[in-house]
Chain A
Amino acid sequence: MMLKIEDLHASIEDNEVLRGLNLELNAGEVHAIMGPNGSGKSTLANVLIGREGYDVSGSVRFQGQDLLALSPEDRAAAGVFLAFQHPVEIPGVGNLYFMRTALNSLRRQRGQDELDPVDFLALAQERMELVEMDQSFMSRSVNEGFSGGEKKRNEILQMAILEPKLAILDETDSGLDIDALRVVANGVNALRSEGRGMLVITHHQRLLDYIVPDRVHVMAAGQIVRSGDKDLALELEKHGYAGMTQQHSQASRVPVGATR
């Protein structure tokens, strides 16, 4: 078991967003998390990487470690990666320099030798092909002035360079046209591997045509209310979230999809 989330609760400013969420993910698996706006999908991503400001209870074990006890940088060193829904612009910090600093921080924390600029550039160039990114992006400031699609590609590039064990993709498809979506999905698919787990958070079924998940979970009101195989996404596409939410009112008595 790579990731085991049990009875996860998270509140922000007295508003309980996650209400007893349970999830298990094995290495090599890709799980999709779907759900309407406000169901807590992004909060789950934020809590998993350690964003401050949430009151969190419950348990998250990542490869046997208590993930919630770690700082964001220690979670990254442990192998957790989030492709941000809204990648942050950092004026004045070069993209290439940023990625090298990140990789070398991870390597240092893992007791590995740092890569010098020349070796890193070679690595970055190789991985940039994966997301069809032009080298000019590397000399610019991190995400500054990037279009929505460029920002998302830059996220997948970082994932390709940092090679996490668990990749969480938060609405990576939002704001992408079909070409950009295909590029991003190709990048993600190329990074699927036996040792890597992925949690793909999305609002739309569309992305799952390109990244075919092993499991699909439906979130509503801070819980996973249904889980199934990839066909569940198609069912959702047909019937919408409304049906699920109805089931959810029953679910508050008998949780559906709870893995306990």
Chain B
Amino acid sequence: MTTATAAGGVLSRFDPQLNGRDPLWRAEARLAALEWVGKHGFPTRKDEDWKYTGLESILAVSFEAATVGSSRWVTADMIEAAAVDLGGARLVFVNGHFASELSRLTGLPAGAEVTSLAAVLAAGPERLERFFSHAPGQHHAFAAFNDALTEDGAFVHLTPNTCVNEPIQLVFFSDTGGFRLMSSPRSVILAEPGSSATIIETYAGIDGDVYCTNAVTEVVLAEDAQIEHYKVQDEPVTAFHLALLDVRQGRGSGFSSRSVMLGSSIARHEVRVLLEDVGAEVSLDGVYLPQGDQLHDNTIFVDHAAANCTSHQLYKGVLDGRGHGVFNGHIMVRPGADGTDANQKNKNLILSDRAEADTRPRLEIYTDDVKCTHGAAVGQLEEDALLYMRARGIPLKAARGLLINAFVHEMVDRIALLPLRVQVEALVAGRFRNGYRSVEP
């Protein structure tokens, strides 16, 4: 099957919802995005950024677009199990659509607007035009696909100097009821000058459900805004997860994002950060733990377009079974971005002979006055450390567990929110509880 027919096949199943509710610009944007996908097709391994991540198994499934009310069986307990309540505003989306009965929007300061994208589209859609009017599929087909299909997502708007102290939780839960759904949540986070907030995205679903999450989250930080972002992806291994986190940072702003990738058959977490004004800082961390036949792809692009900006990246993978981890990190330092301080590091721990780690840190520098470092490592558990522990009486399995834990913990410890850290610790421990086999049975 060629890409063109694959795209054609997928497109023929997805008619954009030209239902008359959309303003004209929105309808046009949907059509333009679909047209773009039809013309360019889906990426293949020949595309630089998709070299290690084949999409055949996703494109082979006949997904249908998730509609409002496609499942009504999700309970508060299911949401609590997926994402421990952090006490602040909590927006729950089921199959990509806002579920107000499971959500809580109280306790926010006056300058913070936290609602669903659908609500904004219904009330005053012109506010969103600029987010959908940029070139469709600017990045790739799945972003364009989201452009075409999205109906809902989170909308967070912080007016100048608004500080939201309680974390804002966005929970994307899937319950397909046996249908092969594609959900396309689109979230927009606008932080005006001097504002700050912590935002947590959680993605989860029901074991055995076959679905595809194709999420786009856009974050725009104005001067001196500060956003702390977390993402926990724990979709079932029968699902697919494709996500783009697109960040634009103004002068002196600070953005951090920590990603924990546990679930999905194929998961791709793409982060693009544009440092477009002086003195912006970004810190991106990720831990990914593919096992079985899972593929976890981290594709990062940090664009230093202004002077004196700082970027840090640390991604760590633990790969077991036939798990496949990808780190594809690209730092661009544009002409004039003097005083850039950029580093990226990727470390992989391989527990099995059949696991695969692909790591590609890239620096592209067009100015002299920069401080840039990058490094990548792929290793196994240290035999010397294992022997040292065993010689002290710690059984092999426990010794392996300690070393894996030590490797991952550097990342987990960076989660400042205690209840979230506790939950992630439990999720990570659960991963390795039933044996971390380097030797296949």
B390 touches A90 (CB 8 A): no
Task: Say if the beta carbon of B402 comes within 8 Å of chain A.
Answer: yes
Number of interface residues of B (CB under 8 A): 22
- The answer to whether B391 and A105 touch across the interface, beta carbons within 8 angstroms, is no
* CB < 8 Å neighbour of B409 from A84, A90, A92, A106: A92
Other-chain residue from A51, A73, A88 in contact with B382 (beta carbon distance below 8 A): A88
In the complex, the chain B residue whose C-beta lies closest to that of A99 is B392
Give every chain A residue within 8 A of B383 (Cβ-Cβ).
Answer: 52
Of B384, B390, B403, B406, which contacts A76 at CB under 8 A? B390
Of the listed residues B383, B391, B394, B405, the one surrounded by the most CB atoms of chain A closer than 10 A to its CB is B391
Knowing A71-B396, A73-B395, A88-B382 are in contact, say whether A102-B406 is a contact too (CB < 8 A).
no
Question: Are B390's CB and A71's CB within 8 A?
Answer: yes
B409 / chain A contacts, CB cutoff of 8 Å: 92
- Which single residue of chain A is at the shortest CB-CB distance from B407? A92
Given A73-B393, A92-B405, A92-B406, verify A84-B388 contact (CB < 8 Å). Answer: yes
| Cβ-defined contact, A102 with B392, below 8 A | yes
Number of interface residues of A (CB under 8 A): 30
Cβ–Cβ < 8 Å partners of A88 in chain B: 382, 384-385, 387-388
Which of A87, A91, A106 lies in contact with B393, CB distance below 8 A? A106
Residues of A contacting B390 with CB < 8 Å? 50, 71-73, 76
Across-interface contacts of B410 in A (CB, < 8 A): 92
Encode contact with B along A156-172: 1 for CB under 8 Å, 0 otherwise: 00100010000000000
Which label, helix, strand, loop or mixed, suits the secondary structure of the B interface? helix
Binary per-residue interface labels of chain A (17-48) against chain B in the complex, 1 for a CB within 8 Å, 0 otherwise: 00000000000000000000000000000000
Q: Does B242 contact A (CB under 8 A)?
A: no
Report the Cα distance A73→B386, complex, angstroms: 10
A82 at interface (Cβ–Cβ under 8 A)?
yes
Whether A87 touches B406, Cβ cut-off 8 Å, given contacts A73-B393, A73-B396, is no
Question: In the complex, what distance in Å separates the CA atom of A81 from the CA atom of B395?
Answer: 15
Query: When the two chains form their complex, are residues A72 and B406 in contact, meaning their CB atoms are under 8 A apart?
Result: no
A93 engages B406 (CB within 8 Å): yes
CB distance from A95 to the nearest CB of B (A): 12
Which of B393, B403, B406 makes the CB contact (< 8 A) with A105?
Answer: B393
- A101, CB-defined interface residue at 8 Å: yes
**Inter-chain contacts of B392 with A (CB < 8 A):** 76, 81, 98-99, 102, 105-106, 158, 162
Give Cα distance in the complex from A99 to B389, angstroms: 9
Q: Are A87 and B402 in contact (CB under 8 A)?
A: no
* Nearest chain B CB to A28 CB, angstrom units: 23
Q: Give the residues in chain A near B398, CB-CB below 8 Å.
A: 101, 105
Residue of B nearest to A106 (CB): B393
B393 adjacent to A90 (CB under 8 Å)? no
Partner of B391, one of A82, A92, A109, A141: A82
Given A101-B394, A102-B393, A158-B392, the answer on whether A72 and B402 have CB atoms closer than 8 Å is: no
A49 CB-CB contact with B under 8 Å: yes
Closest B residue, CB atoms, query A46: B387
Given A90-B403, A92-B405, A93-B403, answer yes or no on A77-B393 (Cβ-Cβ < 8 Å). yes
For B406, the chain A residues whose CB sits under 8 A away are 90-93, 141
Q: State whether A90 touches B407 (Cβ < 8 A).
A: no
Q: Is the CB of B391 within 8 A of A72?
A: yes
Q: How far is the CB of B400 from chain A (nearest CB, A)?
A: 12
- In the complex, are the beta carbons of B394 and A105 less than 8 A apart? yes
Chain A residue at minimum C-beta to C-beta distance from B410: A92
B375 to chain A, nearest CB (A): 16
Tell me the nearest residue of chain B to A110, going by C-beta.
Answer: B393
A99 to B388, CA, bound (A): 12
A162-B393 in contact given A92-B409, A101-B398, A101-B402 (Cβ < 8 Å): yes
The complex places the Cα of A64 from the Cα of B420 at a distance, in Å, of 53
- Taking CB as reference atom, which chain B residue is nearest A161? B392
Give bound CA distance, A93 to B388, whole Å.
Answer: 13
29 contacts between A and B (CB under 8 A): A50-B390, A50-B391, A51-B387, A72-B390, A73-B391, A73-B395, A73-B396, A75-B391, A76-B393, A81-B392, A82-B391, A84-B391, A88-B382, A90-B382, A90-B403, A92-B406, A92-B407, A92-B409, A93-B403, A93-B405, A98-B389, A98-B392, A99-B392, A101-B394, A105-B392, A106-B392, A106-B393, A109-B393, A162-B392
A73-B391, A92-B410, A101-B402 given; 17 more Cβ-contact pairs under 8 Å: A49-B391, A51-B387, A52-B383, A71-B390, A72-B390, A72-B391, A76-B393, A88-B388, A90-B403, A92-B405, A92-B406, A101-B394, A101-B398, A102-B393, A105-B392, A105-B395, A106-B392
Q: Footprint of B on A, CB under 8 Å?
A: 49-52, 71-73, 75-77, 81-82, 84, 87-88, 90-93, 98-99, 101-103, 105-106, 109, 141, 158, 162
Closest 10 CB pairs of A and B: A92-B406, A76-B393, A72-B390, A102-B392, A106-B393, A88-B388, A105-B393, A73-B390, A93-B406, A105-B394
